[in-house]
Structure 1
Amino acid sequence: MKIEEINQMGKELKDLLKLKNPPVAIGLVPGTHEIPEGINKIEEKMRHCQMVDKARKEASEFYALVDDQQCKGGAAVMGLQEMTPKLANGDVYYNLNRYKTINSARRTMQQVPTLEAGSIKAVLYGPLDKVSFIPDVVLVIDTPKKAMQLSQALLHRFGGRVNASFAGIQSMCADGVVQPYKDGHISASLGCGGSRKYANVAEDEMIIGIPVERLHDMIEAAHEMFG
């Protein structure tokens, strides 16, 4: 897959589904790989979800290291660092009154999609129609209707069902990026308090994560269905 193809698919996806903002390309740079040349490091410390919002609203491309990630929970699930014990065992969300018992908080955290600590050295961000790197995951943040259309396009060729797994926490990092990165399937998330507060995910928007390998067939189907 070439950069020109990636950019063209980004343009087509936005035009075909009449998306409000361009899909966001996310690249996870393994610890054994180099950060692509020509991409600038982000200049300010932000949460991962804020970086996604910056890429989709400002059409800017950049990369972030672990020290640039303000939300250490997001950094941990994406493999940039170890998860703190208080987050891993559920204390953080239990103390925020998200769960009735520490056990319900613990069980939830044990099922959050997570990459091995230290396996990723940097995260790349940019609008899909303009990026200079090959992404691993594409994020679409739009209405449930657009998510429905994406799901229909995904199933157009082989059929089946789209299975969603989310818990209302760590939606933009664990649900949107890590889940499709790990299993190669589309993910759907209703968002979380952090993404809606810090990343301006609106009340009528949800998050779809698409493995880049699924993008071509999805767009080909979208042309047939919605073009």
Structure 2
Amino acid sequence: MNKNDEINNLKMNYHFSEELKRNLDLKSHPVAIKFILHKKDIPKNIKKINQKIRHCEMVQNASQGDEFYSTCNEQLCKGGSAALGLEKPPKNVTTGEFYHDLGRFKSVGSAKRTMDEIPKMDLNSYAILYSPLEKADFTPDIIVIIANPKQIMLSSQAIVYNLGGKLESSFAGIQSVCADAVAGPFINKTPNVTLGCNGSRKFGKIKDEELVMGLNGENIDSIITALNSMES
């Protein structure tokens, strides 16, 4: 990507971010996420995060203004890292034993049935870029917003504004910010709303009154247009 592309991306993303915040009255930044397949493709202006934390914490940090990238080595939650295609999932996660041992399921079988349906990216990425949308000079694969129910309602109305229909959300209260809000929308090319999970609310500081929504980066301009049309 050349310098002109970076400048154009930055201008567009700044505009998209400002419009989302204005129309939805968001209190935090929309978060731009991009998957990087090869180390050489990491933008030189973006530094690696200097701590080992969970993906949901990284999204929260980016929503507060931080910009960075992470490899699997900086991802503390290996289930989330695996859902995002950075590494293979731990065996006790795929078997359901991990969540059964946490007391989330009555049996290992019920845990495994849920884990079988959790979205998992088969991308084998080297890294993930995290940035406030307004700072991103790249085209995001996914845009995550942390919002209250009314703001999610308005976003949903904007998504169906042009073609109609209804949104279908998929969640189980597990791996919400990683699998539900990022991996699922990336794989299915459709937005998704998730209620959060114990980990994202405890470590990612998702508030009791907040939901999380994952949007496809390539469709954000139509959502902005719809929000502006709905406003007029």
Shorter-normalised TM range? over 0.9
Matches within 5 A, 1:96-107: 96-107=102-113
Which residue matches 2:120?
114
Of 15, 20, 31, which residue of structure 2 is paired with 1:13?
20
Which segment is superposed worse, 135-144 or 30-39? Answer: 30-39
Question: Would you say 1:212 and 2:217 are equivalent positions?
Answer: yes
Paired residues of 1:16 and 1:223 also in contact (CA < 8 A): yes
Q: 1:132 aligns with which of 132, 137, 150?
A: 137
1:31–1:119: 8 Å Cα contact kept in structure 2? Answer: no
Cα displacement string for residues 147-203 of structure 1 (whole angstroms, at most 9, x for unaligned residues): 110000010000011000000000000001001111110011000000000011001
* 2:190–2:215 contact (8 Å) kept in structure 1: yes
- Verify the 8 A CA contact 1:187 1:208 in the aligned structure 2: yes
TM-score between both structures, scaled by the size of structure 2: 0.94
In the other structure, the counterpart of 2:4 is none
Offset of residue 15 of structure 1 = 1.0
How far apart are 1:31 and its partner, in Å?
A: 4.3
1:164 maps to which residue?
169
1:33 shift after superposition: 6.6
In 1, the alpha carbon distance for the partners of 2:116 and 2:180 equals: 14
Count of residue pairs the alignment pairs up: 225
Matched residues in 2 for 1:81 and 1:69: separation? Answer: 10
> Could you state the TM-score of these two structures normalised by the residue count of structure 1?
0.96
Hey, what does 2:101 align to over in structure 1?
95
Cα distance in 1 for residues equivalent to 2:115 and 2:188: 18
Q: Judge conservation of contact 2:31–2:132 (CA < 8 Å) in 1.
A: yes
Partner of 1:62: 68
Separation of aligned partners in 1, 2:38 and 2:97 = 29
Q: Pick from 47, 56, 63: which aligns with 1:49?
A: 56
SS of the residue 1:83 aligns to: coil
String of CA shifts for 1:80-113, please: whole Å, max 9, x gaps.
1110110001000001110111110000000000
Q: Distance in 2 between matches of 1:187 and 1:108?
A: 17
**Distance in 1, Cα, partners of 2:40 & 2:16:** 25
Counting aligned pairs with the same residue, the percent is 39
User: Distance between the aligned counterparts of 1:141 and 1:178, measured in 2?
Assistant: 16
What amino acid maps onto 2:26 in structure 1? L
Moved over 6 A (4+): none
Alpha-carbon distance between aligned partners in 1 of 2:74 and 2:137, rounded to the nearest angstrom: 21
Aligned pairs for 1:2-41 (under 5 A) are 2-31=9-38, 34-41=41-48
The CA distance in 2 between the partners of 1:171 and 1:30, in whole Å, is: 23
User: 1:201: which partner in 2?
Assistant: 206
The 2-side partners of 1:45 and 1:205 are apart by 25
Counterparts of 1:215 and 1:135 in 2: how far apart (Å)? 10
Gap runs ≥5 in structure 2:
1-7
The 8 Å contact of residues 9 and 137 in structure 2, kept in 1 or not, is answered as no
Shift of 1:7: 1.8
Shift of 1:64: 0.5
